[in-house]
Amino acid sequence: MHPETTVGSTASTPGRTAPYDALLLVSFGGPEAPEDVIPFLENVTRGKGIPRERLEEVGEHYFAFGGRSPINDQNRALLAAVKEDLAGNGLADLPVYWGNRNWAPYLSDSFRQMKADGIRRVACLLTSAYSSYSGCRQYRENLAAARDSAGADSVQVDRLRHYFNHPGFVEPMVDATLAALAELDEHVRRDAHLLFVTHSIPVSMNQASGPEGGAYAAQHQSVADEIVERVRHATGHRHAAELVYCSRSGPPQVPWLEPDVNDRIEDLADQGVSAVVLVPIGFVSDHMEVRYDLDTEARATADKVGVEMSRAATAGVDPRFVTMVRDLFLERVEVENGRDPVRVAVGAEAASWDRCPPGCCANQRPVRPAAAGTD
């Protein structure tokens, strides 16, 4: 049993949380020492036929940071902040667990602990804010597999709704964008382009995302549009802006969402643009895709082509983001008790669904059982 699988050790919770008696933070995981790097990457790519040479090449990204991903420490910080927030709002007795897809603490360990603690129903917050197979359905498959492997069939699992357009996520990103703009030299700030960055996925995965397809790109675009408008209100100026992607992988013949952030920086330099702000709206914390793909690789590209660059912070443990976790949990409590709570959302997209409908973010490979949905 990994010692950090859970904070909280009792299934006894106040009546205001019924039918839930626990909260589970679900994340990707990452290596914590150099000897973890290749085994971690093997976990991530299992079944995909990725040659070891490629894993070793990607591993160099981690070795450049001492062989340790920042993601687990960031999850520990979020977990501690959520627990403190719950305690400060009358929910100190609610157990909060944490489990990862690809590294310790594994989800299977979390379910073993929940079973031992007598947990009957748990609400899950994914550290992925958007709809896609890899960002939602795959986690739901992981949850089902972990529950089965732990023999924890008695634990009912629900996923808290997507929060890409919740003000607790969007407002910290707006402030971070304004702060990043302020870091630029005054003579280039007004004409700086805002590049909203997220993880690229195969075009086919985007087409299958959400119940009707195309949700991944559409949700990101709605967040980008909302931030641009709020920055305009704050500054009196509308910056040129667009959605770009990072971290493309896979065979070159398979089309992925574009443009790549590095390619776009080079294009903008050719067009005479002198400054860019990277806004990582696809990520909730400064993990490896942010630290390497943006802070290292994209910055090197900007330096090479003579473009001034700043990078907005992620939501991390911003108090508004932490409060959002509690709000989403209590909102779902209301839903499950037959009430109709105010479902807060900003921008063009409505608040997301509570239960993923049949076919939502369909698996392009053989279908596997998934928890927390209607199929």
pLDDT tens-digit map of 255-290 = 999 999 999 999 999 999 999 999 999 999 999 999
Whether 346 is covered by a domain: the verdict is no
Range list of H helices, 68-106: 71-87
Chain-centroid distance, C-alpha 7? 21
Instruction: List the one residue out of 191, 175, 135 whose CA is nearest residue 308.
Output: 191
Handedness of CA 86, 87, 91, 96 (dihedral sign): positive
Among 277, 294, 311, give the residue marking a domain's end.
311
| Residue 194 CB-half CA count within 13 A | 31
Range list of H helices, 184-318: 186-189, 203-207, 215-235, 261-270, 288, 299-305
Which CATH number goes with the domain that contains 216? 3.40.50.1400
The verdict on 132 and 244 lying in the same domain is no
Average pLDDT of the chain to the nearest whole number: 94
Whether 355 is covered by a domain: the verdict is no
Mean pLDDT across 321-338: 98
The verdict on 23 and 155 lying in the same domain is yes
Whether 213 is covered by a domain: the verdict is yes
The verdict on 15 and 145 lying in the same domain is yes
- The per-residue pLDDT for range 195-232, each reduced to its tens digit, is 999 999 999 999 999 999 999 999 999 999 999 999 99
The verdict on 51 and 186 lying in the same domain is no
The verdict on 184 and 84 lying in the same domain is no
DSSP structural state of residue 266: H
d(CA 230, CA 228): 6
Whether 107 is covered by a domain: the verdict is yes
Given this model, what pLDDT does residue 13 score? 53
Confidence of residue 310 (pLDDT cuts 50, 70, 90): very high
The verdict on 90 and 209 lying in the same domain is no
- The per-residue pLDDT for range 100-136, each reduced to its tens digit, is 999 999 999 999 999 999 999 999 999 999 999 999 9
Given this model, what pLDDT does residue 190 score? 96
The verdict on 205 and 70 lying in the same domain is no
The verdict on 70 and 130 lying in the same domain is yes
Per the structure, how many domains does the chain have? 2
Q: Note the pTM of the prediction, 2 decimals.
A: 0.95
Report how far apart the first and last C-alpha atoms of the chain are (Å, whole number). Answer: 31
Confidence of residue 51 (pLDDT cuts 50, 70, 90): confident
- Residue count of the chain: 375
The verdict on 159 and 171 lying in the same domain is no
The verdict on 140 and 19 lying in the same domain is yes
The verdict on 25 and 111 lying in the same domain is yes
Mean pLDDT across 248-254: 87
Q: Which long-range contacts (CB under 8 A, 24 or more apart) does 184-187 make?
A: 184/275, 184/277, 184/308, 184/310, 185/275, 185/308
| Domain span holding position 248 | 167-311
Whether 147 is covered by a domain: the verdict is yes
pLDDT above 90: residue 6: no
The verdict on 250 and 102 lying in the same domain is no
